[in-house]
Amino acid sequence: MKIGIMTNFNRPTRLAELTAIICKYYDIEVIYLRPRDVNIEEDKVRGKVLVNNSWLSIETEIPPFIDIAPYCYKRKNQEITTYLRNKTFLSDNRDNVLSKQKLQDKLKSTVEFSDIVIPTQKIYSINDIIDFLDKYTKVVMKPTNGIRGRGVYVLEKKNECYYLGYQKESVTLTYKELEDFFQENIKDRGFILQKHISSRTVQGDPFDCRVHVEKNQDGEWTSAKNYIRIGIGQKVISNVNQGGGISELVPFLKSNFEDEWENIVKKINELSVTLPRKVEELRNTHIMSLGLDIGIDENGSLYLFEVNDGPATATLTSEVAVLRSSYYKYILENCINTSEKYSTDREVIKKDYLIIEKKLNDYMKKNYELENQLNYYKKKYLSIENSTSWFITKPVRWLGSFKKK
């Protein structure tokens, strides 16, 4: 039996390779492909399959199931994705996609999730920002289609001054300068306003909890991993792509919420099952993977920052590969009509599994070593960044893009 994994990357990803290895245990062949590898006229795809640790080119029929990355749904691929919607079973067909604001609005009207909703509003004019500031004093501005924390600003009003923060920088603006910033960076670019939630460590760094959920071997939602992302030295968000770090959930909560950590863990575990079901219900379509970004204020209350339907997997590649492989088997056995049967030679499968298990352990060991190296270089980088010479020579580049002379 064949399934497809579709992304925009020319070379198969590490996740695709590890998933392909594990899928061999289930007698499933993974075909790695990109949108442009689909031949609509011939009803075929030209992809790659993993054979003896090498990816070899192959031409074959459209797989009955394709795990498609949301980022493949670009305008240039519209003909191909429309064709695939009608031809095969997709992990996400992008029906009824909810914007960040629309999701918050829908959850606000529910009994079970209204308490985690953050007040949110779309930005149409500078007056929207001023009125929102008058109501909440400190707000967050971010694009509705933002990825990995790009373009996220925090804005606070004190007396007649406005304090604007971005990544690790902050600047004080007059009303005129704020208006100029709005015209050049926010207007007509699909930004929303949110009430600022103070989700910070005892050291004052912003953090959030990433709850990465996947479908399992029974077709049910389960947590692949819950972990904390800390924005070390950042002004706005806990973005590891901008110099932050990650932490295991329980040790972090024990250090920052001594009296409430057990209750917080319980609430996060409950949310990891109930919220994905609700999102899938609201979209009225099939979804396979979600990343829930949860803020935790000083009182231990949870707030939903946003839901990502294409969550990053770099920090939990092994966990995701194991879950997705077993879920592919569930899909093929329960959701797709096929006459193909799985191999009954259990001795061959058992032998292959031992080989796969060894490779998986090797991958996990390598991943652990790389994480240790990454943490080492982050510490070295932070020590350099915090040095006097670095501080003196560092220009405030981002301010120059909008502040008038």
Angstrom distance (rounded) from CA 264 to CA 266: 5
Angstrom distance (rounded) from CA 200 to CA 404: 33
- With a CB cutoff of 8 Å and minimum separation 6, the contacts of 192 are 100, 101, 120, 121, 122, 123, 141, 142, 143, 144
* CATH superfamily to which 98-116+199-308 belongs: ATP-grasp fold, B domain (3.30.470.20)
* More confident call, 364 vs 210: 210
23 to 14, 27, 242, 360, 362: CA distances (angstroms):
14, 6, 34, 12, 17
Domain ranges of the chain: 2-95+317-364, 98-116+199-308, 119-196
C-alpha dihedral (194, 309, 114, 304), degrees to nearest 10: -50
Taking the CB of residue 328, how many other CB atoms lie within 10 A of it? 25
Domains 98-116+199-308 and 119-196 share a fold: no
**Helices 14-23, 317-334: inter-axial angle, 10-degree rounding:** 50
Cβ atoms 210, 320 nearer than 8 A: no
Cβ atoms 207, 253 nearer than 8 A: no
Decide if pLDDT at 78 tops 70: yes
CATH T-level fold of 119-196: Dna Ligase; domain 1 (3.30.1490)
Q: What is the pLDDT of residue 245?
A: 85
Tens digit of each residue's pLDDT (9 = 90 or more) over 298-326: 999 999 998 999 899 999 999 999 999 99
For domain 2-95+317-364, the CATH architecture is 3-Layer(aba) Sandwich (3.40)
With cut-offs at 50, 70 and 90, classify the pLDDT of residue 350: very low
251 burial level (CB within 10 Å; 0-12, 13-18, 19+): exposed
Angstrom distance (rounded) from CA 178 to CA 126: 9
With cut-offs at 50, 70 and 90, classify the pLDDT of residue 175: very high
DSSP codes, 213-246 = EEE-TTS-EEEEEEEEEE-TT-SS---GGGT-EE
| Average pLDDT, integer, range 292-303 | 93
Q: What is the pLDDT of residue 278?
A: 96
With cut-offs at 50, 70 and 90, classify the pLDDT of residue 120: confident
Tens digit of each residue's pLDDT (9 = 90 or more) over 184-201: 999 998 899 989 988 899
Decide if pLDDT at 84 tops 80: yes
With cut-offs at 50, 70 and 90, classify the pLDDT of residue 396: very low
| CB environment 148-185: b (16+ within 10 A), e (fewer) | ebebbbbbbbeeeebebbbbbeebebeeebbeebbeeb
